[in-house]
Amino acid sequence: MKKNALILCLFFFILFPPCVYASFGISPSDFTFENIIPGETVEKEFLISRTESEKEARIVIEADVEGANQWIKVEPGVSFPILRGEKTKKMKVKVSIPEDAPLRNYEGFIVVKILEGEGTPGVSLVKGVGIAVNLITTKIEVNRLLVRKMEMPNVMKGDPIRLILTIENQGNKKSKPQKIEIKVYDIANNLLFEGEDLDFESIEPSLTKDITAEFKNNLIEGEYYAFVTVVFQDKPLREEKLVFNVKEKEESISEKTYDTGGKNYLIILYGLSFLVLIISLLVLKAFFISLKKKKMNNV
Amino acid sequence: MFKTLPIFFGFFLFSFVIARVNAQTVNVVVYVADIPHFTYGPLEDPESSVGLPTNAGEKIIFNAQAYDPESPSYYFIVCKTDEIISNAGHPPSCPQGMWCMSELTENGNNAKCEYMARIDDSEENDWFAFLCSFGTGYCSDSYQGSGSQGSPFYVNHPPEFISVTNNGSDYPSGLIVWSVKSFDPDVIGGRDRTKIFVCSSPSFSNGRCSDGVYCESELSSNNPTCSYRIPDIEKDNLHKAYVFLVDEHGMESQSSLQGVESSFGVNNIYPETMSLVLNQGRDINLFPNTKTLVKVTATVSDRNSCSQDEIKSVTASLYRSSVGYQGCKSIYQANNNYCYPSISCSLVEGELCEHPKDATLNYQCDIEVWYYADPTDKGTFFSTDDWKATLRVEDDNGFVSEREVSIGVEMNSLISFDLDSGIEYGELNIGQVIDPLSKETKIRSFSNVGLDAILYGTDLVNAGEYKISVENQRYALSKICFWDAFPLGKGMKYFDLDLKKPTKTFREKSIYWGIKVPENTVAGIYSGSNYLIAVKGDVSGW
């Protein structure tokens, strides 16, 4: 019965082989910035993907955005290979709006084509995907930040408490949070101390960056909670409860390794020196013997 | 009143014995006999005083040493009153009661007697010590010693344990308070104070818990109380506890409640989710024709313990925001377009629960999202939505906490498709027109959006010399008349392909092509390229 079923399956697959589709794609599919101040640069990352990676292919990019083609730059370039075995490739599009750019909408497409080997005789069909471009220039300043992630790694006793924020600047001016406040509690929810940090670097428009805030740490080993408030334009932008551990400092393992390594190194060095000495003595001995023989022959 | 300094040189007792009374003659014989006298003591050893009373059930030891010039041995006897009945050759006796009497002691040796203090003894007890000569039967005057080791002795009585209460239970870091109602009958020098011990086992000795102790009260003249702070991380359990009452002299209560079980509970606390992050806070890019791994990471805290026997399950649901968690809670609501419910999460590699040191552990949930999951970025049907995740944590008591990520992320549009590699026009005669359009090419969408297209092409060339202009090719979505179809051009031309968004598997549509071979065309093999650029279609065509 089982055998019959297997034969049936094989027959089915011979008659109707499973289709393997070689799809080509891109994500996201738009390059939209609705508030760009002339003089600014905006950028966005794209993921090019393909399901079949048997052959090397070439990615070719063309911009068709009326009035803005010259402003568009692509990393790693307008033509680059996607190697055999590579299924994805990252691509960054940067648009630098000149200071004197007219205030208006710039619409069009950035076309990303994939050229896979030599064309077939006759009419070949070339695949491509279009990134819809919509750029709107303005003089109105927009300040908008989005805190995408907050992270508070464990710290060693005495080391500063670090808060890592992943922030996206969704506005059109260089910007940063006004301040970051933390309230640290022990595990029983007793407030231990409060702190704030005002000193971190600004983020360019359209970029997502990790910024780090630091706070003094006089805590003993243990587990703690931190209520974090990111303040932007006098308002809380994001609040979050995070947990972190303070750990005892351990003896530096690398130092130990180094010591051991040093000793090993010396042992090897001494061994080699001894070996060279023995060989030298043997060579000398051989030399004297041959010299003696020579003298004897002369005699 | 009888406590004066002993006089070591003795007293003389004049005994007048009228041996015979004769009418004519009176002979008076006068014997002057020495009586035994104290050379040391009497005293309590150790002292039994107001400050250091003897607990009921413990011995009071009286010590003395005597010298009896008339007899080789003597008795040391301690009476309750200042009365003694001597009896030569026999032990003396106390007519109103005796505390204790030594054994017959050799003259000059130390004599000792013991009395076992009893609960029914008074708190304060006078004593009168006598030395009685065995040989003569003569007894000394009473003597009460002096100072703290002199009469009286004090008996300490056990405190009465009336009742005990505690507040039952509390959460980790909470306080359990035991209150005991007690009474101490000893009042001399002020009523004795009492204290309690709350032990983790019913074993209590030498005024201490033999095993662990939850708390020990201060001495209190009222009702003693003590409290135990539950550790910050503690399992939700019933903890057995036993209460012992002692007075300020360390005497344990003999009430039936002594050592009574007065257990307490540690309440179950809700687990808590922190640091919940979806896809590292970044927008999601999907991969064509397959599933893309999207991670949800979180820190789960439970102050009853981070152990796996406390945290029963951690699951995550991923959904489009307008669907919401309520629309994507159970596996029956699953839909690959917008809802991935109840995905099991696991501990991040290397995470270990060190109870009771840690309350938290890091979890990660791997969710495989299909390529056609609804996009939420600009120009999509759900552009006001984003994607969110909720983490559901359930502990062993069925306490459930559900927390949604603070910030959702966008599901980016994915444009992805497959296309036949070329158009097979075949061999055509000069002047021939493929009418109606019959050359079919299939476009298959592996996108999460509806697709339109941009079409353009190059002239078809023969050996780089002769060409058929690109405009001679026409296309349409059906096999229509060649002349009604769209002419292909060198410039990009938008084409309403209206290929719908896949919702279960890929979507497919055919484009039909035709060509007109111009009359003046030189015979040969012509080749060229047609470009099909897929673009995100207008949502109305999805």
Is the Cβ pair B534, A127 closer than 8 Å?
yes
Nearest-Cα residue of chain B relative to residue A245: B358
Vertex A235 angle, CA A234 and A240, to 5°: 130
Kindly report the nearest CA distance between residue A100 and chain B, in angstroms: 28
Answer whether residue B204 shows pLDDT above 80. yes
Distance CA B38, CA B307 (A): 75
Answer whether residue A4 shows pLDDT above 80. no
Taking residues B187-193, report their average pLDDT: 94
Is the Cβ pair A148, B173 closer than 8 Å?
no
Q: What is the pLDDT of residues B364-401, one digit of tens each?
A: 999 999 999 999 999 899 999 999 999 999 999 999 99
Least confident of A238-252, B12-26, B111-125, B204-218: B12-26
Q: How is the beta sheet containing B54-55 ordered, strand by strand? A: B54-55, B153-156, B124-125
| Two tokens, residue B386 | 């984003």
- Judge whether B507 is closer than 8 Å to chain A, CB to CB: no
Q: End-to-end distance of chain A based on CA atoms, in angstroms?
A: 102
- Count chain A–chain B contacts defined by CB atoms under 8 A: 197
Q: How many CB atoms lie within 10 A of CB B526?
A: 22
Distance CA A225, CA A188 (A): 9
Nearest-Cα residue of chain B relative to residue A112: B533
**Spatial contact of A268 and A260, defined as CB atoms under 8 Å apart:** no
Answer whether residue B14 shows pLDDT above 70. no
Q: What is the pLDDT of residues B427-466, one digit of tens each?
A: 999 999 999 999 999 999 999 999 999 999 999 998 778 8
Is the Cβ pair A113, B280 closer than 8 Å?
no
Q: What is the pLDDT of residue A251?
A: 52
Q: End-to-end distance of chain B based on CA atoms, in angstroms?
A: 117
Residues in Cβ contact with A165 at an 8 Å cutoff, skipping those fewer than 6 apart: A147, A149, A150, A151, A177, A180, A210, A211, A212, A213, A230
Least confident of A110-124, B236-250, B290-304, B364-378: A110-124
Distance CA B510, CA B503 (A): 19
Closest CA to B292 of B156, B143, B167, B414: B414
Q: What is the pLDDT of residue B18?
A: 34
Q: What is the pLDDT of residue B154?
A: 97
Q: What is the pLDDT of residue B21?
A: 36
**Spatial contact of B265 and B222, defined as CB atoms under 8 Å apart:** no
Answer whether residue B42 shows pLDDT above 50. yes
**Spatial contact of B324 and B338, defined as CB atoms under 8 Å apart:** no
Answer whether residue B222 shows pLDDT above 90. no
Closest CA to B107 of B39, B11, B33: B39
pLDDT band at B357 (very low <50, low <70, confident <90, very high): confident
Is the Cβ pair A27, B413 closer than 8 Å?
yes
Helices (DSSP H) in B265-367: which residue ranges? none
Residues in Cβ contact with A76 at an 8 Å cutoff, skipping those fewer than 6 apart: A91
- Contacting residues of B for A240, CB less than 8 Å apart: 274-275, 406
pLDDT band at B268 (very low <50, low <70, confident <90, very high): very high
Sole residue written with tokens 């069009």:
A108
Taking residues B498-508, report their average pLDDT: 95
Interface test with A, best of B410, B416, B428, B454 (most A CBs within 10 A): B416
Answer whether residue B22 shows pLDDT above 80. no
Distance CA B514, CA B484 (A): 11
Is the Cβ pair A24, B527 closer than 8 Å?
no
Interface test with B, best of A24, A29, A127 (most B CBs within 10 A): A29
Q: Is B24 helix (H, G, I), strand (E, B) or coil?
A: coil
Nearest-Cα residue of chain A relative to residue B362: A243
| The residue type at B271 | P
- Judge whether B297 is closer than 8 Å to chain A, CB to CB: no
**Mean pLDDT, all residues of chain A:** 84
**Spatial contact of B457 and B490, defined as CB atoms under 8 Å apart:** yes
Q: Where are the beta strands (DSSP E) in B24-95?
A: 26-34, 37-44, 54-55, 59-67, 73-79
| Percent above pLDDT 70 for chain B | 94
Q: What is the pLDDT of residue B308?
A: 87
**Mean pLDDT, all residues of chain B:** 91
Answer whether residue A258 shows pLDDT above 50. no
Answer whether residue B195 shows pLDDT above 50. yes
Distance CA B238, CA B169 (A): 9
Is the Cβ pair A128, B282 closer than 8 Å?
no
Is the Cβ pair B288, A51 closer than 8 Å?
yes
Kindly report the nearest CA distance between residue A127 and chain B, in angstroms: 5
Distance CA B538, CA B269 (A): 51
Q: Is B191 helix (H, G, I), strand (E, B) or coil?
A: coil
Sole residue written with tokens 């001494």:
A270
Interface test with A, best of B266, B273, B285, B364 (most A CBs within 10 A): B285
Out of A30, A119, A243, whose CB is closest to B301?
A: A243
Taking residues B38-42, report their average pLDDT: 92
Distance CA B323, CA B209 (A): 60
Interface test with A, best of B274, B300, B460, B471 (most A CBs within 10 A): B274
Q: What is the pLDDT of residue A5?
A: 43
| Two tokens, residue B2 | 């009888």
Counting Cα atoms < 13 Å in the Cβ hemisphere of A86 gives: 14
Closest CA to B283 of A90, A152, A148: A148
